[in-house]
Structure 1
Amino acid sequence: MKSILIKELNSFFSSPIAYLVIAVYLLVNGLFLWVFEGDFNILHAGFADLNNYFFLAPWIFIFLIPAITMRSFSDEINTGTIEILKTKPITTWQLILGKFTGSFLLVILAILPTLIYVYSIYKLGNPVGNIKFGTTFGSFIGLLFLAGTYTSIGVFSSTISKNQIVSFIIAVFISFFLFYGFEALANYNLFGNLDYTLQNFGMSAHYNSISKGVIDTRDLIYFASITFFFLLITNYRIQHEE
């Protein structure tokens, strides 16, 4: 697994991919939160909190993380190197976890610089220091779990097609549906008393729950289960890849 992880990180940082991903994430967030006029601008909101950041980040990641993971296995399948990797003294799980961890670490590196936002809000508060640290760091934890789930979806999607663009589109669709699709269906009130249960199948409900600063094990188990499920079916896909 370690060798695969190092190989993934080297491939990211030996090309513009890593730098582009981090730059795009920081630029988009920075522009919406601090520069552009509108509802997302923290300076014009009148509240010293990061709610707008934690609202924007999942939507940015829906597109950014599939862009990171789309080449994970589709490139290996397209070039035929997947067969060479299968002959190496590593298990399929080590291969998958190496690629998953490499992509996830890149996402974490993109998130880390945004911790400066916490200091900014701390200084902007009236009085200075008027910030809810529990809610803020709970939201960061929720964002990490959500990003991990998106990454597992992206890695799985990269096994479906040799074409990286197709893998990207599939990952975006699955991530979007799991994050917002169930909530959207529940909002139509089509299922009566089951609407609340349906909403809890979606990632948005669990992400919002963690973002309140209360780390509920049910939410963590939910994200861990979805992540494991997609890694599991990735394992099945790789083992049965012809």
Structure 2
Amino acid sequence: MFEQMDDQLMDAMCDRLKPVLYTEDSCIVREGDPVNEMLFIMRGKLESMTTNGGRTGFFNSDILKAGDFCGEELLTWALDPHSSSSLPSSTRTVKTLSEVEAFALMADDLKFVASQFRRLHCKQLQHTFRFYSPQWRTWAACFIQAAWRRYSRKKLEDSLHEEEIRLQAAMASSGAHSPSLGATLYASRFAANVLRTLRRSGTRKARLQERLPVMLLQKPAEPDFSAEEH
């Protein structure tokens, strides 16, 4: 974002930055609280975590350090020309793990800078924002996990189906060629037990996957630049 700013806009933004200092174990913002500033970290470490709005079984955390930022919900809000006047809610809880030095850009100041920035070409900003955003990275990871679960479930179902066909064919072959009725009954019982075990195993795995919450987050909001493009 900064690379695409001209010198005049960069100066305007820097004039509005305020140095801040946080002590260790300080809570900067809690999930669900209004975001009133965006922080650019210069020194120290923070932990950014989310439970996806208090969703049971969901937890994601990320370590932020020098060069990272937090409060990105405010950037999306500021860049959107149709955003409401009320501040956005934080999607994450951010706490310091050590003493932290940062620069803060308050909501009103960020709104002013964003209104100027929207005049620039913003396609690249969308890609850059997604790449560095903890929200977007978390959403992408959850999307991939959900896709992998669907693939694993499909693979298990296909494997069980193939095994059933193989055992049924073996049972039919045994019945056709074996002269012993007792051997045929034994083979039939054996095949039936194996099929039952396979189905139970598949059912247990399917139920386990159903019990595990599908870790899908709502897709993060992003600014609509269509008005500027037209």
Which structure shows the bigger proportion of residues in helix conformation? 1
Greater Rg by CA: 2
TM-score (normalizing by structure 1)? 0.29
TM-score (normalizing by structure 2)? 0.31
Which structure shows the bigger proportion of residues in strand conformation? 2
